[in-house]
Amino acid sequence: MTPEPFGARLRRAMDTRGPLCVGIDPHASLLADWGLSDDIAGLERFTRVVVEALADRVAVLKPQSAFFERFGSRGIAVLERAVADSREAGALVLMDAKRGDIGSTMAAYAATYLDPASPLFSDAVTVSPYLGYGSLRPALDLARESGTGVFVLALTSNPEGAEVQHAVRTGGASVAATMLDHLRAENAAENATGAMGSYGAVVGATLGDTLGAAGADLTIGGPLLAPGIGAQGATAADLPKVFGAAVRDVVPNVSRGVLRHGPDVAALRTSAARFADEVREAVDASGPGAR
């Protein structure tokens, strides 16, 4: 059987669980805030609590691979368990790996996260297109085959990103706008059936008016992962202003804003539910004209 595309599964998860992605970011300072040691035991405890608290209720969980990789093979084993347990509980798992390479190496990265036979098989992965959008083809094609998704870095929230993403190509389009154009074309087949596409972009919720400077048309027919809600300063109320007609396709990402309430399971759940409600209210208030 042909697997159900990621875009359709994501839309259903957002409609039923609320439009929110929560990061799993076990960096050293957060482990310390939880009273945990910065070692494999602390990593295991932190990850287990987040998955227990949220995997059965949020739409998307987004582990940051680097914070597991720093512990070597034992950290990767914790990540494998987190992915499997989260998906079993009903959350979609977006692996935040930001991989980008060419040829067989990119194909290997794609297989790591998007091949159902892999121990790290996830519902979607973040990728970097700055070796050229075409270099992502192994991941894009495997995603279509396996019913998974790909989120391409387009307009990131870090200020350094502008020197590449806002750069203007021959013909006048910015690099970011070019990436969004590619994704729009990638999503066309799924959009033709009335579904949201499975090929998304990463666009910072904190960017505000700078999106116009990049000539960015965010209506790509696919999801927009929007980091920056909470600790980075953006709020749910900012989303309609930043994303306009594409606001209903936004998947706001919150990490520290939720995780700082741990290790109390009830507090983590309450915080995630509050963010999801705030996003839903802001999107609903934007009116039927939004996508």
pLDDT-derived band at 216 (thresholds 50, 70, 90) equals: confident
Tens-place pLDDT, residues 44-71 = 999 999 999 999 999 999 999 999 999 9
- The whole-angstrom separation of Cα 31 and Cα 22 is 17
Is 290 a domain residue? no
Q: Do the domain assignments include residue 229?
A: yes
Return d(Cα 267, Cα 272) in angstroms, integer: 9
Whether residue 89 is contained in a domain is answered as yes
Arithmetic mean of pLDDT, 98-109: 98
Catalytic residue among 87, 98, 280, 291: 98
What is the reported pLDDT for 291? 42
Residue 290 confidence (pLDDT) above 60: no
Helix, strand or coil for residue 254?
A: strand
Domain contains 122: yes
- What's the CA gap between 194 and 64, in Å, rounded? 32
226 Cβ contact list (under 8 Å, min separation 6): 203, 204, 205, 234, 239, 242, 243, 250, 251, 252, 253
Report yes or no on 177 lying in a domain: yes
Place of tokens 């940051």: 64
What tokens were used for 279? Answer: 């996003």
For residues 203 and 224, the answer to whether their CB atoms sit within 8 Å is: yes
Domain that holds residue 239: 6-281
Residue with tokens 């989120």: 151
7 pLDDT above the threshold of 80: yes
pLDDT higher than 70, residue 231: no
In the chain, the percentage of residues whose pLDDT exceeds 70 is 96
- The answer to whether the CB of 24 falls within 8 A of the CB of 50 is yes
How is residue 204 written in tokens? Answer: 């910072």
Whether 288 has a pLDDT exceeding 60, the answer reads no
- Structure confidence by residue, pLDDT tens digits, 197-214: 999 999 999 887 667 666
Looking at the whole model, is its pTM more than 0.75?
yes
Helical residues (DSSP H) of 115-159, grouped into ranges: 137-146
Query: Is 62 tagged catalytic?
Result: no
Residue 289 belongs to some domain of the structure: no
Please provide the DSSP assignment of 93-109 as one string: EEEEEEE---HHHHHHH
Confirm whether 288 is domain-assigned. no
Q: What is the pLDDT of residue 229?
A: 82
> If we measure between CA atoms, which residue out of 151, 115, 134 comes closest to residue 3?
115
pLDDT tens digits, residue range 30-48?
999 999 999 999 999 999 9
Work out how many domains the chain is built from and give that number: 1
Q: pLDDT class for 75, splitting at 50, 70, 90? A: very high
Instruction: Tell me the CATH number at 125.
Output: 3.20.20.70
Does residue 260 lie within any of the structural domains? yes
Region 142-160: mean pLDDT is 96
